[in-house]
Chain A
């Protein structure tokens, strides 16, 4: 009887540490945009570059969390989550382009000598409709794709390959000028959002805080799901789907729900990413981006909520440093990282920390 007691004590201590670290990080993330508002002469001032960089990484962290919900919990490895992220980004980009061009057509359409907007651009000058699109575009695509994939009981590596093909198809489609999304240049030269200049310190700070809020919200949703019976059913889908069916559960509905939720979270992250980074183009849909997202999750530790955030932060932090210090070696390093994680850290960094904690 001694051992379980000790384990719970260790777990309780672990939870306390996690909560403490979480509160400190949240405080730092809230302080960061406030410090960026200080005058430049102040030594505590945070540069726009740093704020954008951290904001970008936070958006990636949301993607990692969303991917972990489907991969870590339900066992569906998606190699196409970049598509949902980009769709959310494009929906936001449409609004920003309309805001920048005023009553006229967006600049790239004028170059193509188009005279009127394609039908799917209708209403995108309204912020609220654009926000609906941010949710609907990735959500509906995920719903349709998931419905057919899960109905046909596609799983494992076949599912991964299909998601990869989907994002690749999306990229090819968006590369075409005729598709009406700016071809390979995508959208850029944004001016304002809801009338506020997009480059002003205040707008940046608000966008950053919204990203922090979305991350916290996603984390809360993920936490509630993981603790609910729904989360346990997902774990069961991952480990023994047949058993679950003979228990009387229909796994399709469970998979579809978490799959669409994950896609919508990615879309929201993309919508916050675009105004902060100032550009969206089809390369966001390239398969390598989606694979990189899987690397974040694997490195951090899948099946946990903190792991993917940690992974996204670590890899992207290293990436920004590496691509400045040794630009030509980054991809080799990323590849090596994936191999090392697969071979020596099957449970990711979180698994390593937990092991240390138990010893």
Chain B
């Protein structure tokens, strides 16, 4: 069953249409940090990705392109393959075939989870996962971008700059007052923010966020939306979310997954007007 993804690209932003020249001209190609080649303005390229578990195709010839600095939302019914997609990008699951490139040069299908994380892809889990026995500050200290080898960790001492950066992120995620509390004692929403903070200090070029506002209050959700919008541009974000209100408030570009492949792509209004999307969601 070959899927037919609907290209809903704005022609100017379609990386295939202009090979990124317009992007370079407006400087977007240089947003990503050093070491990552994003000459053509695409930070993540997934082509014909398939993953099957015991014959069940979790992903089926999936094609997805994420541009540098973009904030992309992925939606889809349960079992559409959203989490599997993140697993493939972060190296947790190997695709049975297909190509996955980070920038122009890094082949994600050949890298380990640790290498991918070090190359600059950060991931927030669906269930907030923080180091519960450590304090909020220590959680951020561990996540912070630095030499993460055994020897470096034995001798590591925070310098003033690193400390300032952690304080800054603590301020951003509104956890300054609880920086010495154990992370395990935080509320669900606070843990979500801490995990987002851990991604921020890690300073990745691409952030994958699996249901970041689950369990948050309305005020917290609103704040998260502001935060993500401020991150887009400096970082590329891929957000998997069920909360349509949240998706509407942040995304300029939405991808709908269904049965392991891309069903529709475009602005939220376009996607919501799409007949097949309505059919999938409402079962008509």
Partner among B117, B134, B149 whose Cβ is within 8 Å of the Cβ of A247: B117
Inter-chain CA distance A229–B154, complex, in Å, is: 6
Partner among B114, B122, B141, B148 whose Cβ is within 8 Å of the Cβ of A232: B141
Binds A, one of B37-45, B123-131, B226-234: B123-131
Q: Mark A227-248, 1 if CB is under 8 A from B, else 0.
A: 0111011011011101111111
Which residues between 135 and 167 of chain B lie within 8 Å of chain A, taking CB atoms?
138, 141-143, 145, 148-150, 153-156
Q: Does A253 contact B (CB under 8 A)?
A: yes
Contacts of B71 in A (CB 8 A): none
Expressed in whole angstroms, the minimum distance between the Cβ of A236 and any Cβ of chain B is: 5
Inter-chain CA distance A217–B17, complex, in Å, is: 66
Q: List the B residue with the shortest CB-CB distance to A233.
A: B153
B118 touches A248 (CB 8 A): yes
Q: List the A residue with the shortest CB-CB distance to B120.
A: A248
Chain A interface residue count: which class?
20 to 34
Q: Does B78 contact A (CB under 8 A)?
A: no
Q: Does A257 contact B (CB under 8 A)?
A: yes
Q: Does A178 contact B (CB under 8 A)?
A: no
A243 touches B129 (CB 8 A): yes
A contacts with B: majority SS: helix
Tell me the total A-B contact number using a CB cutoff of 8 A: 76
Q: Mark A244-280, 1 if CB is under 8 A from B, else 0.
A: 1111111001100100000000000000000000000
Inter-chain CA distance A239–B132, complex, in Å, is: 7
Contacts of B153 in A (CB 8 A): 228-230, 233, 254
Expressed in whole angstroms, the minimum distance between the Cβ of B33 and any Cβ of chain A is: 14
- Contact A257 to B113, CB < 8 A, known contacts A235-B134, A243-B125: no
Q: Does A39 contact B (CB under 8 A)?
A: no
A246 touches B150 (CB 8 A): no
Inter-chain CA distance A250–B116, complex, in Å, is: 11
B142 touches A233 (CB 8 A): yes
Inter-chain CA distance A250–B147, complex, in Å, is: 11
Contacts of A248 in B (CB 8 A): 114, 117-118, 145, 148, 202
Inter-chain CA distance A235–B135, complex, in Å, is: 11
Inter-chain CA distance A266–B181, complex, in Å, is: 35
Inter-chain CA distance A41–B116, complex, in Å, is: 72
Expressed in whole angstroms, the minimum distance between the Cβ of A262 and any Cβ of chain B is: 15
Expressed in whole angstroms, the minimum distance between the Cβ of A142 and any Cβ of chain B is: 15
Contacts of B130 in A (CB 8 A): 240, 243
A246 touches B133 (CB 8 A): no
Inter-chain CA distance A238–B133, complex, in Å, is: 10
A228 touches B154 (CB 8 A): yes
Q: Mark A204-234, 1 if CB is under 8 A from B, else 0.
A: 0000000000000000000001001110110
Inter-chain CA distance A242–B149, complex, in Å, is: 17
Q: Mark B102-127, 1 if CB is under 8 A from A, else 0.
A: 00000000000110011000110100
B123 touches A246 (CB 8 A): yes
Inter-chain CA distance A238–B154, complex, in Å, is: 17
B148 touches A240 (CB 8 A): no
Which one of A4, A236, A253 has the highest number of Cβ atoms from chain B below 10 Å of its Cβ? A236
Inter-chain CA distance A244–B118, complex, in Å, is: 11
Which residues between 150 and 193 of chain B lie within 8 Å of chain A, taking CB atoms?
150, 153-156, 180
Supplied contacts A248-B117, A249-B142, 20 more A-B pairs, CB within 8 Å = A228-B154, A228-B155, A228-B156, A229-B156, A230-B154, A230-B156, A232-B138, A232-B142, A233-B142, A235-B134, A236-B131, A236-B142, A238-B133, A239-B132, A243-B129, A243-B131, A244-B142, A246-B113, A247-B143, A250-B114
The 10 closest A-B pairs by CB, nearest first: A248-B117, A229-B156, A253-B150, A230-B153, A248-B118, A243-B129, A236-B131, A250-B114, A229-B153, A230-B154
Selected A-B contacts with CB under 8 Å, 22 pairs = A225-B154, A228-B156, A229-B141, A229-B153, A230-B153, A230-B154, A232-B142, A235-B131, A239-B132, A243-B131, A244-B142, A245-B114, A246-B117, A246-B122, A247-B142, A247-B202, A248-B117, A248-B145, A250-B114, A253-B150, A257-B150, A303-B133
